[in-house]
Amino acid sequence: MLEIIQIPVLTDNYIYIIHDSISRETAVVDPALAEPVLDVLAKKNWSLTYILNTHHHSDHVGGNLQLKQQTGCRIIAGQSDRARIPGIDAGVNDNDVVSLGTHKAKVIFTPGHTSGHIVYYFAEEHLLFCGDTLFAMGCGRLFEGSAEQMWHSLQKLKVLPAATQVYCTHEYTQSNGRFALTVEPNNHLLQQKMVEVDKLRANHQTTVPSTIVEELATNPFFREDSVELQKTIGMLNKKPVQVFAEIRRLKDHF
């Protein structure tokens, strides 16, 4: 069994520490900062084995070099980002496997937010560490990729088992949900979800992780086939990727 610790940092980032109690191996996903990670490691008496980076943005790799220097960990990241992520030891590609003890994470290539974005999927444990590709009720901005690329990337995540827990790296859920209600206002599951989210945020509690089944029901970027959504944004019977692109454009100006 894997133990997961969520560390809130900066304004709205999350760092994840994943620990396998049997092998005693420990990984950290997207360490924006080193100190909060080192604090947890010290309190738990854990040694850091790996850094798993999803993409090159500084709020995901800022702690890489300090952590590597102080712990001797190995840094794993997308092969195509070798020149942009500090300290990479192993570059991975789509369908490669990263092991943490006996637990195995499949690498899924998800360009769109950036050109080299990857995510880590632990199939047996139903865990997805998806960086900035997929958020609770949202998806990442298209900084380097096209709408078509991001749509194809999200299709890969959309078909994961319903129980898969979605560990994204930002607390954007409340604002994402408010936007979602503007494009699908009569979605009752979305309305219910937002009541829960508003309560959590009012108490300064996290809304992450969500699950794939929740995203299928509430995330507009998973719901381009919704007739209500298509009507609301004036895209009835358009191609799914066109509907997706319009949702993304609207969100960018929300």
CA dist 164 → 111, 127, 159, 208, 242 (Å): 21, 5, 10, 12, 27
- Domains of the chain, by residue range, sit at 2-252
Verdict on whether the full-model pTM lies above 0.95:
yes
**One-letter identity of residue 122:** F
Q: How far apart are CA 203 and CA 10, in angstroms?
A: 18
Q: How far apart are CA 83 and CA 104, in angstroms?
A: 26
Q: Residues 4-31: what's their mean pLDDT?
A: 97
Residue 158, SS3? helix
Which residues participate in catalysis according to the annotation? Answer: 55, 57, 59-60, 113, 132, 170
2-252 is a CATH 3.40.50.300 domain: no
Residue 39, SS3? helix
Q: Residues 115-132: what's their mean pLDDT?
A: 98
Structure tokens at 134: 């997929």
Q: What is the pLDDT of residue 224?
A: 95
Residues in the chain: 254
Q: Residues 32-45: what's their mean pLDDT?
A: 98
Q: What is the pLDDT of residue 32?
A: 98
Q: What is the pLDDT of residues 111-121, one digit of tens each?
A: 999 999 999 99
Q: What is the pLDDT of residues 143-197, one digit of tens each?
A: 999 999 999 999 999 999 999 999 999 999 999 999 999 999 999 999 999 999 9
pLDDT of 1 over the 90 cut: no
Q: What is the pLDDT of residue 141?
A: 97
Q: Residues 220-241: what's their mean pLDDT?
A: 96
Q: Residues 25-33: what's their mean pLDDT?
A: 98
Is residue 70 a contact partner of residue 34, using CB atoms and an 8 Å limit? yes
Cβ partners under 8 Å of residue 148, min gap 6: 241, 245
